[in-house]
Amino acid sequence: MRNTGAESLYVIAVLLVLFSASDGVAALEVKCDSFTPGQIWKDNNGVHINAHGGGILIYEDIYYWFGQHMAEGRAGNKAHVGVHCYSSADLYNWKDEGIVLEVSNDAESDIVKGCVLERPKVIYNEKTNKFVMWFHLELKGKGYSAARSGVAVSNTVTGPYTFVRSFRPNAGCWPVNVREEQKKPVETEKVKEKKFSGGPDATLKDYNVLGRDFEGGQMARDMTLFVDDDGKAYHIYASEENGTMHISLLSEDYLEPAGKYLRVFEGRWMEAPAVCKRNGKYYLIASGCTGWAPNAARSAVADSMWGPWKELGNPCVGQGSDKTFGGQSTYILKVAGKRDAYIVLFDIWRPKNAIDGRYMWLPLQFTGEGIEIKYLQEWDLSCFE
């Protein structure tokens, strides 16, 4: 159908009214007022948020979301850009704060472009007034064998963050629950030659991986940080070839391990850890070890970060729960100013085109015994009221 002159004038008039509204173009901006797990999530520039394996810091009433910036294609799973940050006052609408830690062009740097830089988390140290970032680092060209922790620091929440160093944590230090046989020399064992794949291996128990890494430091891959009410911070990481997790106390400035750590979930092959605290109890959500492919989530509860930790099983319920509804945990957010409002952040990885990875945020429910997560297609914060 052809437009008549009168119709065209009408369309122009409507557009003029919209643009001349008091807040101009902003009147046309689409604001979000709900979470839509798995869908494209646009930032203030209309671009899908790029902060995978992320975590959230609340600072001066604003939420800051830090995550790994993924690029296009399969190669986009590696770090070509750095750590991306977004800010929000309401958790639905996010402003792009840019790249806060850039990977380096210097071939000698541990964080040279093309390294693997995953699961960055930022915490604020009240004593030093510094923002401290920890992440899982794999050195360029070495697959996932380096299994190191990276640390970066900034005076301002949105950076830029300065890379401090990378290392394997807890070198020369035994965990609080070490067994005497683990302290014996490992030379006579085959552990140094044994190759593990990063996934379940029933022979793990025959090798003293902890002892093997005593001098050089413990392997640290998937990780999170948790700051307790008393200001003590913990680094929780998949260690010992991914077979066993470690919960490691950080120094007062949060820049290094304090030299006290606990082995947990021995031989359970858990990764993607996320921790929260509610009514004095600590809850942990994690996944099994199947790379980018989803598997059934795990959960556990304890009265102290030092354990004992009791496994509670898969917290997800309903259809799709055996594969965590397609996701993998990365963080548990306690919503500011609300009682008992906790959100579990999951990634939905798209390894063939990493930049298209999605987010699945779901409310965490506390049952008498443990925790429960149900899939919701769309929801908002009023579910906590």
Per CB under 6 A, residues contacting ligand GAL are: 53, 118-119, 222, 271-272, 289, 291-292, 328
Q: Of the two residues 87 and 324, which places its CB atom closer to ligand GAL in the complex?
A: 324
Please give the backbone phi and psi of residue 27, each rounded to the nearest 5 degrees, phi first. -60, -25
64-67's contacts with Cβ under 8 Å and 24+ in sequence apart are: 64/97, 64/122, 64/157, 64/158, 65/94, 66/100, 66/120, 66/121, 66/122, 66/133, 67/120, 67/330
Q: Of the two residues 291 and 307, which places its CB atom closer to ligand GAL in the complex?
A: 291
The C-alpha atoms of residue 112 and residue 102 are separated, in whole angstroms, by 9
Handedness of CA 171, 177, 182, 185 (dihedral sign): positive
Least distance to ligand GAL from the beta carbon of 136, Å? 7
Q: Of the two residues 43 and 118, which places its CB atom closer to ligand GAL in the complex?
A: 118
Least distance to ligand GAL from the beta carbon of 285, Å? 13
Least distance to ligand GAL from the beta carbon of 28, Å? 38
Q: How many angstroms separate the first and last alpha carbons of the chain?
A: 51
Least distance to ligand GAL from the beta carbon of 307, Å? 23
What burial class does residue 380 get, using C-beta atoms within 10 Å of its C-beta: 0-12 exposed, 13-18 middle, 19+ buried? Answer: middle
Least distance to ligand GAL from the beta carbon of 332, Å? 16
Q: Of the two residues 128 and 290, which places its CB atom closer to ligand GAL in the complex?
A: 290
Least distance to ligand GAL from the beta carbon of 290, Å? 7
The C-alpha atoms of residue 359 and residue 378 are separated, in whole angstroms, by 13
User: Residue with structure tokens 């470690």?
Assistant: 246
Quote the distance between the C-alpha of residue 77 and its chain's center.
15
Q: Of the two residues 44 and 145, which places its CB atom closer to ligand GAL in the complex?
A: 145
Least distance to ligand GAL from the beta carbon of 238, Å? 8
Q: Of the two residues 360 and 376, which places its CB atom closer to ligand GAL in the complex?
A: 360
Least distance to ligand GAL from the beta carbon of 115, Å? 13
Q: Of the two residues 93 and 328, which places its CB atom closer to ligand GAL in the complex?
A: 328
Map residue 126 onto helix, strand or coil.
Answer: coil
Q: Of the two residues 124 and 359, which places its CB atom closer to ligand GAL in the complex?
A: 359
What are 56's two structure tokens? 């959230």
Query: Which strands sit side by side in the sheet containing 316-317, from one edge to the other?
Result: 316-317, 371-374, 365-366
Please give the backbone phi and psi of residue 296, each rounded to the nearest 5 degrees, phi first. -75, 135
The C-alpha atoms of residue 224 and residue 120 are separated, in whole angstroms, by 8
Output the residue with the shortest Cβ distance to ligand GAL: 291
Q: Are strands 328-334 and 358-363 parallel, antiparallel or unpaired?
A: unpaired
Q: Of the two residues 158 and 166, which places its CB atom closer to ligand GAL in the complex?
A: 166
Inter-residue contact 313 to 302 (CB < 8 Å): no
Q: Of the two residues 201 and 222, which places its CB atom closer to ligand GAL in the complex?
A: 222
Map residue 75 onto helix, strand or coil.
Answer: helix
What burial class does residue 259 get, using C-beta atoms within 10 Å of its C-beta: 0-12 exposed, 13-18 middle, 19+ buried? Answer: middle
Please give the backbone phi and psi of residue 321, each rounded to the nearest 5 degrees, phi first. -70, -25
Least distance to ligand GAL from the beta carbon of 87, Å? 24
Least distance to ligand GAL from the beta carbon of 139, Å? 14
